[in-house]
Amino acid sequence: MDRQPVDPVVQHLQQLLNGCGYNFYANKNQARAHDLLVRQKACASLSRAAASLGQLAIDFQRARIPPPSRDHPFPPSDLIGLLASIKNASQEVLRLEAVVRGMSVPSNDATWQRYREELSLLTLLLEFDVGLITKADAVEQAAAGLDANGWGEATRHDFDGLLTSLRDLAHERERLLTIPR
């Protein structure tokens, strides 16, 4: 529980700040702010990963898909499938970025405070979010390290594994909020 300040100036400052119904210095509010910052960092990494995949799709199309000719008016279907897998991976990264950005935190109301210890829950959520940053950074580094000539089924499978682990962690974090703690 937060202690009340003894200094009258600090009390007056607290009263002014709490007039809006928000205590900027409370540990739970700092934990909420940290949660937002951590998720913002994860989203930035995922956004850069999607941009890298978009550039990879352009490079792949230029380097590996031959221009149409009279003899071969359509590109090989296996290369079109690989190009589609790059674009699908980029869309999946953007979808995961939206999921992370929209993750919920426990509501700040009296009902939830009766059933939960909010500060410990926010601290636990912050630990999940650090895992999200780690996995999002891994996705970003993997996407930045890809090149048009190296993209294939094995690379796609490895990249999908990274996305699956990130998706599972995000699901576990959301599930944590549905269980009273």
At 165, list the tokens.
């682990």
* Structural domain contains residue 91: yes
Average pLDDT over residues 171-180: 82
Is residue 150 within 8 A of residue 83, CB to CB? The reply is: no
**Per the domain annotation, does 146 fall within a domain?**
yes
- Classify residue 13: in a domain, yes or no: no
Asked, for residue 78, whether it belongs to a domain, the answer is yes
Amino acid at 57: A
Domain count, the chain: 1
Report yes or no on 12 lying in a domain. Answer: no
Contact indicator for 60, 148 with CB cutoff of 8 Å: yes
In-domain check, residue 137: yes
Say what the pTM is.
0.78
Nearest Cα to 156, choosing from 85, 90, 92, 94? 85
Average per-residue pLDDT in the chain?
84
Q: Quote the pLDDT of residue 1.
A: 46
117 Cβ partners below 8 Å, 6+ apart?
181
Strand, coil or helix: what is 68?
coil
Give phi and psi for 108, each to the nearest 5.
-100, 70
Q: Encoding tokens for residue 171?
A: 């699901």
Position 12 scores a pLDDT of: 61
Contact, 6 vs 93, CB < 8 A?
Answer: no
Residue 103: inside a domain: yes
Which candidate, 144, 138, 167, 161, places its Cα nearest to that of 51? 144
pLDDT in tens, 100-137: 999 887 666 666 666 667 777 777 888 888 899 999 99
Give 4's pLDDT tier (boundaries 50, 70, 90).
low
Q: Is residue 4 part of a domain?
A: no
Give the pLDDT confidence of 25-61 residue by residue, as tens digits: 566 667 777 778 888 999 999 999 999 999 999 999 9
Q: What residue numbers bound the domain in which 120 lies?
A: 27-178
- CA dist 181 and 179 (Å) reads 6
Which of the four pLDDT bands, split at 50, 70 and 90, describes residue 90? Answer: very high
Give the CA diameter of the chain.
Answer: 87
Residue 24 confidence (pLDDT) above 60: no
> Residues of the chain with pLDDT > 70: what percent?
77
Structure tokens at 68: 């149409």
pLDDT given for residue 63 in this prediction: 93
Query: How far is 111 from 176, CA to CA, in rounded Å?
Result: 17
